[in-house]
């Protein structure tokens, strides 16, 4: 089923990554993500594999968008990986960050409500130097995005990267969506990192109005702090933050006592 709205909504300042195993799972995240941006009046910028770009255009047209019009007015920018990551034949993180920040500012000047990017990073998987550069770039973006009218989605083919690289990627993204494979083909989950805790929020991607189940754990000890169910992603996330905030107050009081 092609969703017309994303399971997980994002706001300006969010820098999220998706770990995927199949192109179909990636498309189930990417198409609603871009759809939401276009409907919100944002400028949507994509750096993708050619086959993903073709499928994205097809899906957007199926959902009723005039993609030629969106491209012409600058609301939809579609690029291949090489065009964005290797404009001069090599990957230059600082140059790319400068381009990204300029695009954010330019989007507002042109009347868009914000800037929304989605970038494929599979090209770095089998090159240690590229992986090191990429981690450095992700750190720069994670520092820059929270204060910008921008939303970012970074895409990683989970089976192509080493566990060490993926762990480093996680450290520079507040949220990450994971492809669970066959065992969870009807569900999608997102992990939200918050002040020493991780909240996993799970929903059925085939339901129009799914329920959102959440589990809160301490990062280091993996102890379950709480769990529950909410009608929307925003409610689940807000409930988790409230519970974590209350636990931190208790911990602070106990440490003072």
Length of the chain: 257
Q: Are residues 210 and 133 in the same domain?
A: no
- What sections of 145-232 are H helices per DSSP? 163-170
In this structure, the answer to whether residues 203 and 155 fall within a common structural domain is no
Query: What pLDDT was estimated at residue 256?
Result: 60
Q: Which domain holds residue 209?
A: 187-257
Does 106 share its domain with 6? yes
| pLDDT for position 250 | 67
Choosing from 134, 163, 185, the residue where a domain stops is: 185
CATH at residue 19: 3.40.50.300
Contact 77, 71 (CB under 8 A): yes
- The predicted pLDDT at position 4 comes to 77
Tens-place pLDDT, residues 76-89? 999 999 999 998 89
What are 202's strand-pairing partners? 189, 213
pLDDT of residue 254: 58
- Mark whether 172 and 236 lie in a shared domain: no
- The predicted structure's pLDDT at residue 184: 53
137 and 107 part of one domain: yes
User: What is residue 181's predicted lDDT score, i.e. its pLDDT?
Assistant: 57
pLDDT score of 30 more than 70: yes
Tokens of 39: 């409907």
**In terms of domains, do 30 and 142 share one?**
yes
Q: Of 164, 185, 206, at which residue does a domain stop? A: 185
From 185, 204, 219, the end of a domain falls on 185
> What is the percentage of the chain residues whose pLDDT exceeds 90?
77
SS3 content of the chain, % helix, strand, coil (to 5): 45, 25, 30
* pLDDT tens per residue across span 204-229: 888 888 999 999 998 776 688 899 99
Asked if residue 179 lies in contact with residue 161, where contact means CB atoms within 8 angstroms, the answer is no
The reported pTM is: 0.89
Residue 183 clears pLDDT 50, i.e. is over it: no
Residues 156 and 72 in one domain: yes
Query: What pLDDT does residue 224 have?
Result: 87
Q: What percent of the chain has pLDDT over 70?
A: 93
- Residue 137 to residues 48, 100, 160, 166, 182: CA-CA distances in angstroms? 18, 11, 19, 14, 32
Looking at the fold, whether 23 and 144 belong to one and the same domain comes out as yes
Residues 46 and 172 in one domain: yes
pLDDT digits (tens, 9 = 90+) for 113-141: 999 999 999 999 989 999 999 999 999 99
Q: What is the pLDDT of residue 179?
A: 82
Q: Is the pLDDT reported for residue 200 higher than 60?
A: yes
Q: What pLDDT score does 6 carry?
A: 86
Q: Determine the Cα–Cα distance for residues 99 and 81; give it in Å rounded to an integer.
A: 14
Together in a domain, 128 and 150: yes
pLDDT at 185: 60
Residues 6+ apart with CB under 8 A from 255: none
**According to the model, what pLDDT value does residue 1 have?**
65
140 shares a domain with 123: yes
Q: What digits encode the pLDDT tens for the residues 8-27? A: 989 999 999 999 999 999 99
Q: Minimal CA–CA distance to 195: which of 166, 168, 225, 169? A: 225
Beginning with the edge strand found earlier in the chain, give each strand of the sheet holding 175-178 in spatial order: 76-80, 43-48, 115-120, 150-157, 15-20, 175-178, 187-194, 197-204, 212-218, 224-230
Q: Are 62 and 94 in the same domain?
A: yes
Between 160 and 178, residue with greater pLDDT = 160
Q: Look at the chain and report how many structural domains it folds into.
A: 2
User: What is the C-alpha to C-alpha distance for residues 204 and 219, in angstroms, rounded to an integer?
Assistant: 25
- Specify the range with the lowest mean pLDDT, choosing from 4-13, 27-36, 174-183: 174-183
Q: Please give the pLDDT value at position 115.
A: 98
Query: What is the reported pLDDT for 3?
Result: 78
């Amino acid at each position: 089923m092609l969703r017309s709205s994303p399971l997980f909504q994002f706001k300006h300042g969010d820098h999220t990554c998706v770990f995927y195993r199949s192109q179909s799972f990636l498309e189930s995240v990417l198409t609603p993500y871009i759809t939401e941006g276009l409907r919100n009046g944002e400028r949507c910028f994509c750096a993708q594999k050619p086959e993903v770009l073709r499928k994205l255009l097809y899906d957007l047209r199926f959902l009723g968008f005039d993609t030629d019009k969106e491209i012409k007015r600058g609301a939809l920018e579609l690029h291949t990986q090489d065009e964005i990551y290797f404009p001069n034949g090599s990957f230059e993180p600082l140059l790319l960050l400068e381009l990204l920040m300029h695009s954010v500012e330019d989007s507002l000047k042109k009347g868009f409500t914000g800037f929304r990017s989605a970038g494929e990073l599979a090209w770095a998987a089998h090159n240690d130097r590229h992986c090191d550069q990429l981690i450095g770039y992700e750190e720069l973006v994670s520092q820059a995005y929270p204060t910008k009218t921008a939303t970012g989605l970074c895409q990683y083919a989970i089976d192509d990267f080493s566990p060490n690289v993926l762990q480093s990627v996680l450290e520079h993204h507040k949220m990450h969506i994971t492809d669970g494979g066959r065992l969870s083909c009807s569900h999608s989950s997102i992990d939200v990192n918050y002040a020493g805790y991780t909240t996993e929020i799970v929903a059925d991607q085939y339901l129009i109005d799914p329920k959102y189940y959440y589990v809160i754990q301490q990062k280091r000890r993996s102890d379950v702090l709480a769990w529950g169910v909410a009608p929307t992603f925003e409610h689940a996330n807000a409930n988790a933050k409230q519970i974590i905030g209350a636990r931190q107050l208790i911990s602070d009081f106990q440490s003072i006592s």
